[in-house]
Structure 1
Amino acid sequence: METEPVLILGGSGQAGASTGELLRQWHPNLPLTIAGRSLDRAQRVADELGAANAVTIDLARADLGLPAGHSHSAVVATLWDNHLNGLRYAQDHGVPYVSISNGLVEIAPEVVAGGQRPNTAPILLASHFCAGSVLLATVHLARKFARVDSIRVGALLDEVDAGGPAGLADLERLATASSAGLVRRDGVFTWIPEADARVDVRSIDGTMVPGQQIAVLDVPGLALATGAADVQLAFAVGESAGRRRGEHPSIEIRIDLDGADETGAPLSTSQYLVHPAGQRPLTALGIALGVERLIGLRGEPVAPGIYTPEALTDPAFAVERLTELGASFVSADTPALK
């Protein structure tokens, strides 16, 4: 049976186009619909991908402005679905929905929509840092522990790699929605005032970049997936080590884990997850992993319900895909390359 096209809202933007490229690489015959405000731009992306068509959309309309008779296997919102009509369209048609642009304090409408119509469509809440790829990598590292006590993630995003207009608008909107940070401290999810949430994030070459602990889905996701009583994620925007070397802006995520091994002896690890091409490949990976799982291209199609990335994708498999894309893990104890 032929799969219907995957509808990528914002498909001509950075996240959408990169997701399309990755899905095309993995599934050469998977049809795609690239949806955007500019038909010319969407058509260029569709032509480059092949087996794809382009459409314009209107997020203010319940039917998204799509012609009657169109059908899709999934709806992927790689931009802010500000009216939630992308979600409504997916529920009306009984197909999976993926979103990546709602912060921790913004997911309530999506959760309510899923709760009101629980049997209509699977909903993947992937508004994590890099659409869940960093969370999956961290959970993979945590599997070496018999008990995880604390998780500290420090992410450095290069200021010239913050995404296109939609990505920048997301950052500004989320900063307005909440300047407080969320951590898990002694087993309790705790809000941290902005002034107390300010921290420095260490780049892989040792440079300290001002940042802050943020309210992001990764914090409860990591805490509940591992049982760690202390979890935090700090985020900084500045010059990356790659750009300081005169290369492409890189992304650097430091992951520190503390706990115990099977004998009860203390165990810790400090790793950097890095990609020389920046955040774009990691974000596209998080989305693409969710899409192929939801529509049954990897495993069985997913039943209606509300899901997070770690519920659908094996972290070990995600790390395999990360390394295939050029990401690498570097010990924080290893001297950085000059």
Structure 2
Amino acid sequence: MGQSESVLILGGTGQAGTGAAALLRQWHPALPLTIAGRDIDRARRVADGLGAATAATIDLRRGDLGLPADRRYSAVVAALWDDRLHGLRFAQHRGLPYVSISSGLVDIAPEVVAGAQRANASPILVASHYCAGAVVLAALHSARRFDRIDAIRISAVLDELDTGGPAGTADLERWSTATSAGLVRRDGVFTWVTGPDAQADVRRTDGTDLPGRSIAILDVTSLALAADAPDVRFDFAVGESAGRRRGEPASFEVRIDLEGAGPGGAPIRRSRYLVHPAGQRPVTATGIALGVERLLGLRGEAVAPGIHTPETLLDPAYAVERMAETGACFIGAPGDS
């Protein structure tokens, strides 16, 4: 795909969009980017800071997004909630790759149906996982030493000062309104849990607990099916992160607990934290940028049209390497072996 055509980042002035744009610029200096938002002055500031980038205003109520008809793009990234799916339709009508990060488990049905109805139009990356799939990839990277995975538990702390700006806060509110139940895989069966079954303590890296609960999130389905794990759960808590408890900026911390068997069938466990001292923004940005890079064929072969998820396209080891470049790292947790 010619690099004269620009990656259109809808919501490119928000935290996720600006972070992903900065990484794409770092990884691929010649890649043209279009920072699209409602405030043209803000979009221009972001674009000017990147170089080789342009600014545009968008109107998500319009099928053409309010963009000039003669502009050509290489991909469309929805770094915001595309409630009318105009961004997706815009991409499909032009045969462009599309990335979505805000639909969540409870909102992906329209995207999946749209992708099925026009299966040969565009590659669609459904990346409405936690941190745009970065946590799934980190967990699969941790699972590489296992011959069999019996159970996966993800425990995430989101600092209330690190929700991702107004768009991120709106996403959390929408998802909590759609369902208060959590989704787990239990003994091979995907099961909705409520009440006491959904409640769980989430342990921070400093050893203290926050009250949390199981949530309905795509990470459960992606991990369960990718690892063929019969028991999978994702618990989530919003509160003061360990970093902020130390008087530092809000930190990102996700605990990954794995149980299964190693070579020869010997039972093993692994418990590690994926952490970032600067919070969730750089981790989410990495997830988005990895997806764009892959869809454009800047790493790996061309991606076929259809519905894709992060673990079907991206190499976990490479993803962890890219996360580490931004300052993320793994640290041991009690029970690690």
* Alignment TM-score, normalising by the size of structure 2: 0.98
Q: Deviations over 1:278-337 (max 9, x none)?
A: 0001100000000000011112221111000011110011111111111111110399xx
Q: Distance in 2 between matches of 1:301 and 1:160?
A: 39
Give the whole-Å Cα distance in 1 for the aligned partners of 2:80 and 2:178: 17
Distance 1:180 1:283, change over 3 A: same
Write out per-residue CA displacement over residues 84-133 of structure 1, whole angstroms, 9 at most, x where no aligned residue. 00000000000000000011111000000000000000000000000000
Task: Report the equivalent of 2:16.
Answer: 15
Give, as a single letter, the amino acid of the residue that structure 1 aligns with 2:82. D
Matched with 1:228 is: 229
Q: Distance in 1 between matches of 2:45 and 2:301?
A: 33
For 2:291, give the aligned amino acid.
G
SS, match of residue 41 in structure 1? helix
Judged with a 3 Å threshold, the aligned counterparts in structure 2 of structure 1 residues 93 and 130 are, in CA distance, closer, same or farther, namely: same
- SS of the residue 1:210 aligns to: strand
Give the counterpart letter for 1:129 in structure 2: Y
RMSD: 1.1
User: Equivalent residue of 2:106, what SS?
Assistant: coil
- How far off its partner does 1:142 sit? 0.9
- Equivalent residue number for residue 144 of structure 2: 143
Shift of 1:2: 3.1
Q: Pairwise mapping of residues 234-253 of structure 1 onto structure 2 (< 5 A)?
A: 234-253=235-254
**Separation in structure 2 between the aligned mates of residue 76 and residue 183 of structure 1, nearest angstrom:** 29
**Retained in 2: the 8 A contact 1:184–1:219?**
yes
- Structure 2: which amino acid aligns with 1:38? D
Q: Distance in 1 between matches of 2:49 and 2:119?
A: 37
Structure 1 unpaired stretches of 5+: none
Amino acid at match of 1:202: R
CA contact (8 A) 1:179 1:194 kept: no
Describe the shift of the 1:189–1:334 C-alpha distance in structure 2 as closer, same or farther (beyond 3 A).
Answer: closer
The whole-number CA distance in structure 2 between the counterparts of 1:3 and 1:195 is 55
Q: Which residue of 1 aligns with 2:262?
A: 261
**Residues 215-273 of structure 1: CA deviation (Å, up to 9, x unaligned):** 00000100000011000000111000100111111011000000001111111010000
- 2:217 is aligned with what amino acid? V
Structure 2 residue runs of 5 or longer lacking an equivalent are none
For the Cα contact (< 8 Å) 1:4–1:72, is it kept in 2?
Answer: yes
Question: Which residue number in structure 1 is paired with residue 299 of structure 2?
Answer: 298
| Equivalent pair of 2:203/2:210 in contact (CA under 8 Å) | yes
Partner of 1:28: 29
Aligned counterpart, 2:80: 79
Distance 1:296 1:47, change over 3 A: same
* Mapped pair 1:157 → 2:190: no
Q: Percent identity?
A: 68
Alignment-mate amino acid for residue 4 of structure 1? E
After the TM superposition, which residues 179-190 of structure 1 pair with which residues of structure 2 at under 5 Å, given as runs?
Answer: 179-190=180-191
1:321 aligns with 2:319: no
Q: For the residues of structure 1 that align with 2:257 and 2:111, how far apart are their CA atoms?
A: 31
The whole-number CA distance in structure 1 between the counterparts of 2:85 and 2:199 is 32
Q: Deviations over 1:8-30 (max 9, x none)?
A: 00000000000000000000110
Q: In structure 1, the residue corresponding to 2:268 is in which secondary structure?
A: strand
Counterpart position of 2:93: 92
Partner of 2:281: 280
SS in 2 for 1:191: strand
Partner Cα separation in structure 1 for residue 281 and residue 160 of structure 2: 13
1:68 aligned onto 2:82 = no
Show the counterpart of 2:114.
113
Tell me, what secondary structure is at the counterpart of 1:132?
A: helix
1:24-63: per-residue Cα shift (whole Å, max 9, x none)? 0000110000000100011100000110010100001000
Contact kept? 2:3, 2:30, Cα under 8 Å:
no
SS at match of 2:298: coil
Look up the match of 2:204. 203
Q: How does 1:39-54 map to 2 (within 5 A)?
A: 39-54=40-55
Q: How many residues align?
A: 335
CA distance in structure 2 between the aligned counterparts of 1:2 and 1:102, rounded to whole angstroms: 29
1:210-221 to 2 correspondences below 5 Å:
210-221=211-222
TM-score by length of 1: 0.98
Shift of the alpha carbon at 1:199? 1.2
C-alpha distance in structure 2 between counterparts of 1:300 and 1:254, whole Å = 32
The 8 Å contact of residues 270 and 335 in structure 2, kept in 1 or not, is answered as no
CA distance in 2, matches of 1:265, 1:311: 28
